[in-house]
Amino acid sequence: MLKALNEVSRFSKLRHNGWPLGHVLEIGFDDKYVPKDGPSAAVACALLLEGSLTGKEWDPSFAVTGDMNSDGSVQPIGGVAAKIRGATKGACKIVGVPAKNEKAVADVLVTDGPTPLVAIAVFSLSKFDDALALANPERPAALQTALANFDSMRAVMMRNPQQLVPLLRNPHAVQRLQALYAAAPNCLSAKYLLMYLQGNTPRSLSIAGSIEAAENSAKFIITAISHDIDGNGISRLNGDELGGSLNKLRRLRPMLDSRVWPYVDHMINFADVIRTSMSNPPTRGSARFLDMVSRVRSAAGGAKAAHEKLMNDPQVREELGL
Protein backbone atom coordinates (compact mmCIF):
# COMPACT_ATOMS: atom_id res chain seq x y z
CA MET A 1 0.00 0.00 0.00
CA LEU A 2 2.91 2.36 0.74
CA LYS A 3 4.11 2.18 -2.87
CA ALA A 4 0.61 3.03 -4.11
CA LEU A 5 0.35 5.99 -1.73
CA ASN A 6 3.70 7.30 -2.96
CA GLU A 7 2.37 7.20 -6.53
CA VAL A 8 -0.78 9.02 -5.42
CA SER A 9 1.29 11.64 -3.61
CA ARG A 10 3.42 12.29 -6.71
CA PHE A 11 0.31 12.53 -8.87
CA SER A 12 -1.34 15.03 -6.54
CA LYS A 13 1.78 17.19 -6.32
CA LEU A 14 2.10 17.28 -10.11
CA ARG A 15 -1.58 18.05 -10.54
CA HIS A 16 -1.53 20.97 -8.07
CA ASN A 17 2.06 22.17 -8.52
CA GLY A 18 2.97 21.00 -5.04
CA TRP A 19 1.08 21.10 -1.76
CA PRO A 20 0.23 24.13 0.39
CA LEU A 21 3.15 25.14 2.60
CA GLY A 22 2.84 24.61 6.32
CA HIS A 23 0.29 21.81 6.06
CA VAL A 24 0.60 18.12 6.81
CA LEU A 25 -1.93 15.66 5.42
CA GLU A 26 -2.34 12.25 7.00
CA ILE A 27 -4.49 9.43 5.61
CA GLY A 28 -5.67 7.04 8.30
CA PHE A 29 -7.08 3.52 8.03
CA ASP A 30 -8.88 1.30 10.50
CA ASP A 31 -6.43 -0.83 12.48
CA LYS A 32 -3.70 1.64 11.61
CA TYR A 33 -0.97 -0.44 13.26
CA VAL A 34 -1.69 -3.40 11.00
CA PRO A 35 0.18 -3.30 7.64
CA LYS A 36 -2.15 -2.90 4.64
CA ASP A 37 -1.56 -5.23 1.70
CA GLY A 38 -2.37 -4.31 -1.85
CA PRO A 39 -2.90 -1.05 -3.71
CA SER A 40 -6.68 -1.18 -4.15
CA ALA A 41 -7.32 2.01 -2.14
CA ALA A 42 -5.04 4.16 -4.33
CA VAL A 43 -7.78 5.86 -6.37
CA ALA A 44 -9.86 6.44 -3.23
CA CYS A 45 -6.85 8.05 -1.54
CA ALA A 46 -6.28 10.24 -4.60
CA LEU A 47 -9.88 11.46 -4.30
CA LEU A 48 -9.32 12.19 -0.60
CA LEU A 49 -6.29 14.31 -1.47
CA GLU A 50 -8.15 16.06 -4.28
CA GLY A 51 -11.04 16.90 -1.96
CA SER A 52 -8.69 18.19 0.74
CA LEU A 53 -6.83 20.43 -1.71
CA THR A 54 -9.87 21.77 -3.60
CA GLY A 55 -12.49 21.80 -0.86
CA LYS A 56 -14.88 19.76 -2.99
CA GLU A 57 -17.11 17.12 -1.48
CA TRP A 58 -17.78 13.83 -3.20
CA ASP A 59 -20.97 11.83 -3.64
CA PRO A 60 -21.23 9.58 -0.54
CA SER A 61 -23.01 6.90 -2.59
CA PHE A 62 -19.94 6.49 -4.83
CA ALA A 63 -17.43 3.71 -4.10
CA VAL A 64 -14.17 3.16 -5.92
CA THR A 65 -11.34 0.67 -6.05
CA GLY A 66 -8.15 0.51 -8.06
CA ASP A 67 -4.42 1.09 -8.12
CA MET A 68 -3.02 4.26 -9.70
CA ASN A 69 0.24 5.49 -11.18
CA SER A 70 1.69 8.96 -10.79
CA ASP A 71 0.47 9.83 -14.31
CA GLY A 72 -3.12 9.30 -13.16
CA SER A 73 -3.65 6.03 -15.01
CA VAL A 74 -5.79 3.54 -13.10
CA GLN A 75 -4.23 0.09 -12.79
CA PRO A 76 -5.81 -3.33 -12.20
CA ILE A 77 -6.14 -5.04 -8.84
CA GLY A 78 -7.33 -8.39 -7.55
CA GLY A 79 -10.64 -9.39 -6.05
CA VAL A 80 -12.79 -6.97 -8.07
CA ALA A 81 -15.76 -9.34 -8.30
CA ALA A 82 -15.83 -9.70 -4.51
CA LYS A 83 -15.54 -5.93 -4.09
CA ILE A 84 -18.53 -5.36 -6.38
CA ARG A 85 -20.57 -7.87 -4.38
CA GLY A 86 -19.52 -6.13 -1.18
CA ALA A 87 -20.49 -2.71 -2.52
CA THR A 88 -24.03 -3.93 -3.25
CA LYS A 89 -24.55 -4.66 0.45
CA GLY A 90 -23.98 -1.07 1.56
CA ALA A 91 -25.48 2.28 0.68
CA CYS A 92 -23.44 2.64 -2.51
CA LYS A 93 -25.24 3.25 -5.79
CA ILE A 94 -22.21 3.71 -8.06
CA VAL A 95 -18.87 1.91 -8.03
CA GLY A 96 -15.81 2.56 -10.17
CA VAL A 97 -13.39 -0.28 -11.01
CA PRO A 98 -10.24 -0.33 -13.17
CA ALA A 99 -10.97 -0.66 -16.89
CA LYS A 100 -8.36 -3.43 -17.04
CA ASN A 101 -10.53 -5.43 -14.62
CA GLU A 102 -13.60 -5.35 -16.88
CA LYS A 103 -13.62 -9.14 -17.21
CA ALA A 104 -14.34 -9.34 -13.48
CA VAL A 105 -17.68 -7.61 -14.13
CA ALA A 106 -18.53 -10.24 -16.74
CA ASP A 107 -17.54 -12.87 -14.16
CA VAL A 108 -20.09 -11.48 -11.71
CA LEU A 109 -22.76 -11.85 -14.39
CA VAL A 110 -21.72 -15.46 -15.10
CA THR A 111 -21.76 -16.55 -11.45
CA ASP A 112 -24.44 -14.31 -9.91
CA GLY A 113 -26.71 -13.38 -12.81
CA PRO A 114 -27.85 -9.79 -13.49
CA THR A 115 -28.91 -8.86 -9.95
CA PRO A 116 -25.59 -7.35 -8.73
CA LEU A 117 -25.32 -5.19 -11.86
CA VAL A 118 -28.81 -3.85 -11.23
CA ALA A 119 -28.12 -3.35 -7.52
CA ILE A 120 -25.21 -1.02 -8.26
CA ALA A 121 -24.08 0.91 -11.34
CA VAL A 122 -20.57 -0.30 -12.18
CA PHE A 123 -18.29 1.98 -14.21
CA SER A 124 -14.84 1.36 -15.66
CA LEU A 125 -12.02 3.79 -14.89
CA SER A 126 -9.04 4.33 -17.18
CA LYS A 127 -7.71 7.48 -15.51
CA PHE A 128 -8.20 9.49 -12.34
CA ASP A 129 -10.45 12.01 -14.08
CA ASP A 130 -12.92 9.18 -14.79
CA ALA A 131 -13.23 8.61 -11.04
CA LEU A 132 -13.45 12.34 -10.42
CA ALA A 133 -16.35 12.70 -12.86
CA LEU A 134 -18.32 10.01 -11.05
CA ALA A 135 -17.45 11.16 -7.53
CA ASN A 136 -18.48 14.74 -8.29
CA PRO A 137 -22.21 15.18 -7.53
CA GLU A 138 -22.32 17.90 -10.21
CA ARG A 139 -22.37 15.57 -13.20
CA PRO A 140 -23.28 16.42 -16.82
CA ALA A 141 -27.05 16.70 -17.23
CA ALA A 142 -27.41 13.71 -19.58
CA LEU A 143 -25.45 11.43 -17.25
CA GLN A 144 -27.27 12.69 -14.16
CA THR A 145 -30.66 12.08 -15.78
CA ALA A 146 -29.64 8.61 -16.97
CA LEU A 147 -28.34 7.70 -13.50
CA ALA A 148 -31.53 8.98 -11.85
CA ASN A 149 -33.64 6.85 -14.21
CA PHE A 150 -31.43 3.82 -13.53
CA ASP A 151 -31.79 4.45 -9.80
CA SER A 152 -35.58 4.54 -9.95
CA MET A 153 -35.57 1.38 -12.08
CA ARG A 154 -33.29 -0.33 -9.57
CA ALA A 155 -35.56 0.62 -6.67
CA VAL A 156 -38.51 -1.11 -8.33
CA MET A 157 -36.57 -4.23 -9.32
CA MET A 158 -34.77 -4.77 -6.01
CA ARG A 159 -38.05 -4.75 -4.11
CA ASN A 160 -38.80 -8.09 -5.73
CA PRO A 161 -35.55 -9.70 -6.94
CA GLN A 162 -37.40 -12.86 -8.03
CA GLN A 163 -39.11 -10.80 -10.74
CA LEU A 164 -35.97 -8.90 -11.71
CA VAL A 165 -35.36 -10.59 -15.06
CA PRO A 166 -38.93 -10.10 -16.41
CA LEU A 167 -38.84 -6.48 -15.25
CA LEU A 168 -35.44 -6.03 -16.88
CA ARG A 169 -36.89 -7.18 -20.21
CA ASN A 170 -39.55 -4.48 -20.08
CA PRO A 171 -39.06 -2.02 -23.01
CA HIS A 172 -38.93 0.94 -20.61
CA ALA A 173 -36.10 -0.71 -18.66
CA VAL A 174 -34.22 -1.45 -21.88
CA GLN A 175 -34.59 2.20 -22.94
CA ARG A 176 -33.16 3.37 -19.62
CA LEU A 177 -30.18 1.05 -19.96
CA GLN A 178 -29.59 2.27 -23.51
CA ALA A 179 -29.78 5.91 -22.37
CA LEU A 180 -27.28 5.27 -19.57
CA TYR A 181 -24.89 3.47 -21.92
CA ALA A 182 -25.17 6.31 -24.46
CA ALA A 183 -24.48 8.94 -21.78
CA ALA A 184 -21.64 6.90 -20.27
CA PRO A 185 -20.04 4.26 -22.52
CA ASN A 186 -17.90 3.25 -19.54
CA CYS A 187 -20.98 2.10 -17.60
CA LEU A 188 -20.34 -1.63 -17.39
CA SER A 189 -23.67 -2.35 -15.71
CA ALA A 190 -25.54 -0.95 -18.70
CA LYS A 191 -23.20 -2.65 -21.17
CA TYR A 192 -23.42 -6.13 -19.66
CA LEU A 193 -27.11 -5.97 -18.79
CA LEU A 194 -27.88 -5.10 -22.42
CA MET A 195 -25.64 -7.97 -23.54
CA TYR A 196 -27.49 -10.25 -21.12
CA LEU A 197 -30.84 -9.25 -22.59
CA GLN A 198 -29.48 -9.98 -26.08
CA GLY A 199 -28.14 -13.38 -25.00
CA ASN A 200 -24.55 -12.34 -25.70
CA THR A 201 -22.98 -12.75 -22.27
CA PRO A 202 -19.94 -14.99 -21.66
CA ARG A 203 -20.68 -18.60 -20.76
CA SER A 204 -17.56 -19.10 -18.65
CA LEU A 205 -15.44 -17.11 -16.25
CA SER A 206 -12.29 -15.30 -17.29
CA ILE A 207 -9.00 -17.05 -16.53
CA ALA A 208 -8.45 -14.82 -13.49
CA GLY A 209 -12.01 -15.31 -12.31
CA SER A 210 -11.75 -19.06 -12.86
CA ILE A 211 -8.60 -19.43 -10.78
CA GLU A 212 -9.97 -17.20 -8.02
CA ALA A 213 -13.34 -18.98 -7.90
CA ALA A 214 -11.77 -22.45 -7.94
CA GLU A 215 -9.31 -21.65 -5.17
CA ASN A 216 -11.94 -19.91 -3.04
CA SER A 217 -14.15 -22.98 -3.34
CA ALA A 218 -11.28 -25.37 -2.60
CA LYS A 219 -9.54 -23.60 0.31
CA PHE A 220 -9.83 -26.64 2.55
CA ILE A 221 -8.52 -28.96 -0.18
CA ILE A 222 -5.62 -26.63 -1.03
CA THR A 223 -4.63 -26.44 2.64
CA ALA A 224 -4.58 -30.24 2.79
CA ILE A 225 -2.55 -30.47 -0.44
CA SER A 226 0.05 -28.02 0.89
CA HIS A 227 0.78 -30.29 3.87
CA ASP A 228 2.42 -33.69 3.73
CA ILE A 229 -0.54 -35.85 4.72
CA ASP A 230 0.11 -39.14 6.51
CA GLY A 231 -2.30 -41.42 8.37
CA ASN A 232 -2.50 -39.18 11.42
CA GLY A 233 -3.01 -36.12 9.23
CA ILE A 234 -5.95 -37.74 7.45
CA SER A 235 -7.61 -38.62 10.74
CA ARG A 236 -7.51 -34.95 11.73
CA LEU A 237 -9.24 -33.70 8.58
CA ASN A 238 -12.87 -32.57 8.72
CA GLY A 239 -14.90 -34.77 6.40
CA ASP A 240 -17.79 -32.30 6.17
CA GLU A 241 -15.52 -29.43 5.14
CA LEU A 242 -13.74 -31.64 2.63
CA GLY A 243 -17.06 -32.80 1.17
CA GLY A 244 -18.33 -29.21 1.01
CA SER A 245 -15.26 -28.08 -0.95
CA LEU A 246 -15.59 -31.07 -3.25
CA ASN A 247 -19.24 -30.34 -4.02
CA LYS A 248 -18.49 -26.66 -4.66
CA LEU A 249 -15.72 -27.54 -7.11
CA ARG A 250 -17.90 -29.98 -9.03
CA ARG A 251 -20.73 -27.46 -9.35
CA LEU A 252 -18.33 -24.70 -10.37
CA ARG A 253 -16.31 -26.65 -12.94
CA PRO A 254 -18.63 -26.07 -15.97
CA MET A 255 -18.37 -22.28 -15.45
CA LEU A 256 -14.57 -22.25 -15.46
CA ASP A 257 -12.15 -21.47 -18.27
CA SER A 258 -11.27 -24.89 -19.70
CA ARG A 259 -7.57 -24.25 -19.08
CA VAL A 260 -8.30 -24.48 -15.34
CA TRP A 261 -10.06 -27.85 -15.61
CA PRO A 262 -6.92 -30.04 -15.21
CA TYR A 263 -6.02 -28.21 -11.99
CA VAL A 264 -9.56 -28.56 -10.67
CA ASP A 265 -9.75 -32.23 -11.70
CA HIS A 266 -6.54 -32.98 -9.79
CA MET A 267 -7.91 -31.23 -6.70
CA ILE A 268 -11.11 -33.27 -6.99
CA ASN A 269 -9.06 -36.46 -7.38
CA PHE A 270 -7.04 -35.59 -4.28
CA ALA A 271 -10.20 -34.98 -2.27
CA ASP A 272 -11.72 -38.27 -3.47
CA VAL A 273 -8.58 -40.18 -2.42
CA ILE A 274 -8.71 -38.55 1.01
CA ARG A 275 -12.41 -39.29 1.48
CA THR A 276 -11.92 -42.94 0.51
CA SER A 277 -9.10 -43.21 3.05
CA MET A 278 -11.23 -41.54 5.74
CA SER A 279 -14.16 -43.90 5.19
CA ASN A 280 -12.02 -47.01 5.74
CA PRO A 281 -8.78 -46.01 7.49
CA PRO A 282 -6.04 -48.66 7.37
CA THR A 283 -3.96 -49.75 10.34
CA ARG A 284 -0.89 -47.57 10.70
CA GLY A 285 2.23 -49.31 9.39
CA SER A 286 0.30 -51.90 7.37
CA ALA A 287 0.83 -52.42 3.65
CA ARG A 288 -2.57 -50.86 3.03
CA PHE A 289 -1.57 -47.84 5.09
CA LEU A 290 1.64 -47.35 3.09
CA ASP A 291 -0.32 -47.68 -0.16
CA MET A 292 -2.82 -45.08 1.07
CA VAL A 293 -0.08 -42.59 1.97
CA SER A 294 1.52 -43.15 -1.44
CA ARG A 295 -1.78 -42.51 -3.25
CA VAL A 296 -2.48 -39.37 -1.20
CA ARG A 297 0.98 -37.96 -1.88
CA SER A 298 0.74 -38.84 -5.55
CA ALA A 299 -2.63 -37.07 -5.83
CA ALA A 300 -1.24 -34.03 -4.02
CA GLY A 301 1.76 -34.00 -6.35
CA GLY A 302 -0.54 -34.14 -9.37
CA ALA A 303 -2.50 -31.13 -8.12
CA LYS A 304 0.67 -29.15 -7.46
CA ALA A 305 2.05 -30.00 -10.90
CA ALA A 306 -1.23 -29.01 -12.60
CA HIS A 307 -1.20 -25.67 -10.76
CA GLU A 308 2.41 -25.03 -11.74
CA LYS A 309 1.70 -25.86 -15.38
CA LEU A 310 -1.32 -23.55 -15.41
CA MET A 311 0.52 -20.63 -13.85
CA ASN A 312 3.51 -21.06 -16.18
CA ASP A 313 1.39 -21.07 -19.35
CA PRO A 314 2.59 -17.98 -21.30
CA GLN A 315 -0.90 -17.07 -22.52
CA VAL A 316 -2.37 -17.45 -19.04
CA ARG A 317 0.38 -15.29 -17.57
CA GLU A 318 -0.24 -12.63 -20.18
CA GLU A 319 -3.98 -12.59 -19.45
CA LEU A 320 -3.27 -12.39 -15.72
CA GLY A 321 -0.90 -9.48 -16.26
CA LEU A 322 2.06 -11.38 -14.78
Q: What integer pLDDT is reported at residue 38 of this predicted model?
A: 66
Q: What is the CA radius of gyration of the chain?
A: 24
71 has pLDDT over 80: yes
Query: Sign of the C-alpha dihedral, residues 112, 113, 116, 119?
Result: negative
Quick one: CA torsion of 92, 145, 164, 252, rounded to 10 degrees?
-50
Question: When comparing pLDDT for 3 and 159, which is higher?
Answer: 159
Model confidence over 192-225: pLDDT tens digits? Answer: 999 999 999 888 999 999 999 999 999 888 888 8
Categorize the per-residue pLDDT at 52 as very low, low, confident or very high, splitting at 50, 70 and 90. Answer: confident
Average pLDDT over residues 42-52: 92
Categorize the per-residue pLDDT at 255 as very low, low, confident or very high, splitting at 50, 70 and 90. Answer: very high
The C-alpha angle 265, 266, 272, rounded to 5 degrees, equals 90
293 has pLDDT over 90: no
Model confidence over 260-285: pLDDT tens digits? Answer: 999 999 999 998 888 887 777 777 77
Q: What integer pLDDT is reported at residue 36 of this predicted model?
A: 53
Rounded to the nearest integer, the mean pLDDT of the chain is: 88
Categorize the per-residue pLDDT at 297 as very low, low, confident or very high, splitting at 50, 70 and 90. Answer: confident
Q: What integer pLDDT is reported at residue 274 of this predicted model?
A: 83
- Conformational region of residue 170, where left means phi above 0, alpha means psi within -120 to 50, and beta covers everything else: beta
Q: How, if at all, do strands 94-98 and 121-125 pair?
A: parallel
3-state DSSP percent of the chain in helix, strand and coil, to 5 = 65, 5, 30
The residues that bridge with 98 in the sheet, in sequence order, are: 125
